[in-house]
Structure 1
Amino acid sequence: MYNVLFLYNASQTYTNTVYEHAASFGNYSNNRYFYLHQDDSSVTNVDSRRFDAIALHYSVRLPYDQVSETTCSLFENFQGLKILYIQDEYDHTYKAWAWIKRLKINLVFTVVPAENIEKIYPAEHFPGVRFISVLTGYVPHDLSGLLGDSRPSERPITIAYRGRPLPSRYGRLGEEKVQIGKMVKAYCLKNGIPCDIEWTEEARIYGPSWYDFMKSCRAMLGSESGSNVFDWDGDLQQKIRKYREENPEHDDQEVCHAVVSAHEEPGLMNQISPRVFEAIVAKTVLVLFEGKYSNVLKPGVHYLSLRKDGSNLPEIIAALNDSELVDSMADRAYKEIISEGNYSYSEFVRKTDLAISDLILQNKISSQRGSVFSSSSIQPSLLTTMPVRALSTVVPPAITFPLFNANLSRIVLDRLVPVWMALPSGIRTPLTPVIKKILRAK
């Protein structure tokens, strides 16, 4: 059993997927995990000699330099195993390269598909670094909130969806998040089919309410996640901005064709979204754009495959009106994807445990033991045995700050989250119900 110091950004754990990923190590690992909040202004004061490994979570965005100088020093001087969990590797890719080298990372858990790792992380640039391909998320730890009483065929809403518009720099996969919503909603409204489909930021749903939403419908729309547009140098956004200034009459599609498409390599990073697992747990049938979905799902077996031109929408709707088909597909997907446990967080953590143990033993990577905290006059960093769950940073329409407009209200609340995280638990605990009541006020 090893001691692992796990660095994460506690202000980012308001979404289920981020929190569950970070918490999975504390829930399932055979090793002992100690969690520590980290951002670019953190003062990290931990005696690293107490730990066999240090892990940096993807909630700390390396491509945007969200690592403090004290944390850099911690990594650079640490003699044990250094682990990185990284996602969104299409953003500032060379910057991520630089951080992996500077922090002297030994083990990288990447969401780049295994067959494409060499394209993104050429071995000649990373001697001695081991890369392991993983999914962006897995089956939720607590299934109780997703398990409903009704059969999917008995639910009143035929199709539901919550997407989000992504900047044009994310290319075709980003466009599809909105495309599928617009196309199916238009068809449903035209044909009187009950639906609840939105793709604006304001309509997004978080926390337990998201699970309730999933259980209210027979089917949930979806598409592959990720981006095949790699912004290697971090200058793509500047190129897009310049093009828009020179061609103000051009829409997003024209911008993509003129600027973004040259950076896009179809099929490089297509991934299955953790939302897919949530829908399967809720026994909500998936209606997904054609794709590979990390080779986890089979069309016609685990989901209904929607052509990207929408030409088979009538057949999709007919299938969703077939109660026997809907219920049997939901049951089959649950049995083969959820019950068998291959995509559970416990299985994910088991594999990470094996990789950590393998590198420590085979490469004789170890660290000296010492006291938990250094003896300096700086206040020791507060460690926890599970990650802190953040409040949502989404500002409801009714919540504004009188001196600021809507956009600044969101910024103000974002700035308050780190302050909240710094408060002792004895203060946060009694205040939490009050703040939640305010944020949910209509």
Structure 2
Amino acid sequence: MRILILHELDDLASARRTSINHAFALVKYAPQHEYTLHSTRQPVTARLRGQVFDVIVLDTTFLCWRWARPRSLWLDRILEAYDFVAKSDAVKVALPQDEYDHAEILDNWLSDWKVDLIYSVCYDHREEFYPRVRNSARILEGLTGYVDDVDVDLMERFAVPFKDRQIDVGYRAKALPAYFGRTGQVKAELGDRFRSRLTGRKLNWDISTQERQTLVGDAWFQFLGNCKFTLGCESGSSLLDARGEIRECVERQLQRDPTASFEELEQACFPGQDMRKVYTAAGPRLFEAAIARSCQILTPGNYVGALNPGEHYIALAPDCSNAEDVYEQMQDKDANQARIEACYRALVDNPKFRYRNFVAGLLAEVRDAATRKARRLPDCGTLPGTIPDELALRESYTRAVLRAHQHHIEDVKEIRLLPNFLHAVIVTLVRQMLSLARRIRG
């Protein structure tokens, strides 16, 4: 099949590992197809417009253009530049996240483009988010990230034996703006609250919500593999901002008064609206910490329906009022080891949460959607589950990516510009192959 993946990952060196895994899972686990990977940082050429695709995937990062300001300038430009997608008869797949943010804009966009499949990470609220497109699209339950086979192998190299880990409690989180409501504030406040509750305890902390201390690539796995315990909570919002009006109001208020408190912003922009509903989903870190065999300390939540407090993680109240009890549980080495292994079995060993199986399921849904559209698709060939080993997977992945960018090389000749993305992909793949070769020799 000829598959177009639209994304916004131009610089892989600074991109989060989970974003790369999510955007290019099809390339990695179904490399037998012909891919065109197109970043919106690249020009939309005549060749791209004229090519016929069987499947078009709208990645999470591509759909983030609904947040661009001013919308009349940026989103309208995107819709105009990629109008060939709306006209295409391909099976169209959308992978949105943060669906509560600009929900109406997203719903109209996917409906106008006649999207066939939507993988919703806030699946329980799908009827609220997609009142228009749900009449024509099939909405399936999706996750913000899955377990990647290569990540499991890499962590075996990066993870430090538990007793030798230098960080007692680790945490990284982004400080979310007020327009995500009180639920959004918990994510940023959790680390500082927990640390302040246990002041005086001899713990080695590595907690930060600063953008400059964000960890990407191998550094993130090295961090998790050196943490005995990892803090966490579900990501999300307790506000539904259908058209971005709450966000615009908050940003205007902060321009007038950068020191405005959450309560002041609430009163000015969304009085009485917060916490009417809570829209949450488990982030990729849930799986990454499990891969690292770091004992997780989590606020209560659904956690993909796979984890139970006490059995798989230590439960922490959102206000950290039970921090002392959590500290006592952290001292029980046997219980913590049991939690680590139970969490690993529930998440990492469960095929349901593997990218390999997500891709297989997505391709099956694509075939069903094509049948509903009375369209014949080329043979899928080997399915993801039949790739024999990691070496074959890496080699197939490399061939698929280089084949995908052969078309972009033709575009380079047309526009006389080497896309940064092409260079970054090649460099990343070469590094992966060299790393694999060294590990095989060792």
- Structure-2-length-normalised TM-score: 0.78
Residue in 1 that maps onto 2:54: 52
Superposed displacement of residue 277, structure 1: 0.4
Superposed displacement of residue 222, structure 1: 0.7
The CA deviation string for residues 390-420 of structure 1, in whole angstroms up to 9 with x for no partner, is xxxxxxxxxxxxxxxxxxxxxxxxxxx9952
Superposed displacement of residue 274, structure 1: 0.5
Residue in 2 that maps onto 1:174: 184
Q: Give 3-state SS (helix, strand or coil) of 1:51's partner.
A: coil
Distance 1:337 1:41, change over 3 A: closer
- What amino acid does structure 2 have at the position aligned with 1:157? I
1:345 aligns with 2:360: no
- What amino acid does structure 2 have at the position aligned with 1:82? K
Query: Which of 125, 128, 145 is 1:116 aligned to?
Result: 125
1:195 aligns with 2:205: yes
- What amino acid does structure 1 have at the position aligned with 2:420? W
- What amino acid does structure 2 have at the position aligned with 1:8? H
Q: Give 3-state SS (helix, strand or coil) of 1:342's partner.
A: helix
Over aligned residue pairs, what C-alpha RMSD do you find? 3.3
Does the CA-based 8 Å contact 2:306-2:346 persist in structure 1? no
Residue in 2 that maps onto 1:400: none
Q: Give 3-state SS (helix, strand or coil) of 1:144's partner.
A: helix
Does the CA-based 8 Å contact 2:31-2:400 persist in structure 1? no
In 2, Cα distance between the equivalents of 1:179 and 1:418? 42
Q: Give 3-state SS (helix, strand or coil) of 2:190's partner.
A: helix
- What amino acid does structure 2 have at the position aligned with 1:288? L
In 1, Cα distance between the equivalents of 2:362 and 2:109? 21
Residue in 2 that maps onto 1:20: 21
Superposed displacement of residue 86, structure 1: 1.3
> Larger % of helix: which?
2
Query: Which of 85, 90, 106 is 2:100 aligned to?
Result: 90
Superposed displacement of residue 362, structure 1: 3.2
Structure 2 stretches lacking a partner, 5+ long: 69-73, 379-397, 404-416, 432-442
Map 1:53-72 → 2, pairs under 5 A: 53-60=55-62, 61-63=64-66, 64=68, 65=74, 68=78, 71-72=81-82
Q: Give 3-state SS (helix, strand or coil) of 1:335's partner.
A: helix
The CA deviation string for residues 18-41 of structure 1, in whole angstroms up to 9 with x for no partner, is 101122111223861503223176
Query: Which of 208, 212, 219 is 1:209 aligned to?
Result: 219
In 2, Cα distance between the equivalents of 1:30 and 1:102? 30
In 1, Cα distance between the equivalents of 2:336 and 2:217? 26
Does the CA-based 8 Å contact 2:238-2:278 persist in structure 1? yes
In 2, Cα distance between the equivalents of 1:194 and 1:243? 38
In 1, Cα distance between the equivalents of 2:429 and 2:360? 36
Deviates more, 1:140-149 or 1:166-175: 140-149
Distance 1:37 1:125, change over 3 A: closer
Superposed displacement of residue 385, structure 1: 2.9
Superposed displacement of residue 194, structure 1: 2.0
In 2, Cα distance between the equivalents of 1:430 and 1:20? 13
Residue in 2 that maps onto 1:437: none
1:270 aligns with 2:271: no
Residue in 2 that maps onto 1:38: 39
Superposed displacement of residue 150, structure 1: 4.4
Distance 1:235 1:83, change over 3 A: same
In 2, Cα distance between the equivalents of 1:339 and 1:125? 35
Superposed displacement of residue 285, structure 1: 0.6
Distance 1:257 1:290, change over 3 A: farther
Q: Give 3-state SS (helix, strand or coil) of 1:197's partner.
A: strand
Distance 1:330 1:431, change over 3 A: closer
Does the CA-based 8 Å contact 2:295-2:313 persist in structure 1? yes
Q: Give 3-state SS (helix, strand or coil) of 2:155's partner.
A: coil
Residue in 1 that maps onto 2:401: 386
1:8 aligns with 2:13: no
Distance 1:10 1:243, change over 3 A: closer
1:221 aligns with 2:231: yes
Map 1:410-429 → 2, pairs under 5 A: 420-421=420-421
Superposed displacement of residue 215, structure 1: 1.3
Percentage of pairs with the same residue: 23
In 1, Cα distance between the equivalents of 2:59 and 2:369? 19
Does the CA-based 8 Å contact 1:138-1:277 persist in structure 2? yes
- What amino acid does structure 1 have at the position aligned with 2:3? V
Residue in 1 that maps onto 2:410: none
Residue in 2 that maps onto 1:146: 155
Residue in 2 that maps onto 1:403: none
Structure 1 stretches lacking a partner, 5+ long: 369-382, 389-416, 433-442
Residue in 2 that maps onto 1:394: none
The CA deviation string for residues 210-260 of structure 1, in whole angstroms up to 9 with x for no partner, is 111111121000111122322212221232245457777741233235534
In 1, Cα distance between the equivalents of 2:32 and 2:272? 45
Superposed displacement of residue 356, structure 1: 0.7
In 2, Cα distance between the equivalents of 1:128 and 1:134? 18
Does the CA-based 8 Å contact 2:29-2:356 persist in structure 1? yes
In 2, Cα distance between the equivalents of 1:237 and 1:93? 13
In 1, Cα distance between the equivalents of 2:86 and 2:160? 54
Residue in 1 that maps onto 2:87: 77
In 2, Cα distance between the equivalents of 1:247 and 1:51? 49
Does the CA-based 8 Å contact 1:163-1:199 persist in structure 2? yes
How many residues get paired?
388
The CA deviation string for residues 21-79 of structure 1, in whole angstroms up to 9 with x for no partner, is 12211122386150322317621423666432211111112413566467523213312
The CA deviation string for residues 148-172 of structure 1, in whole angstroms up to 9 with x for no partner, is 5644344332211111211111112
In 1, Cα distance between the equivalents of 2:219 and 2:41? 32
Q: Give 3-state SS (helix, strand or coil) of 1:146's partner.
A: helix
Distance 1:116 1:344, change over 3 A: same
Superposed displacement of residue 94, structure 1: 2.0
Superposed displacement of residue 3, structure 1: 2.7
Distance 1:257 1:429, change over 3 A: closer
Deviates more, 1:204-213 or 1:60-69: 60-69
Does the CA-based 8 Å contact 2:121-2:141 persist in structure 1? yes
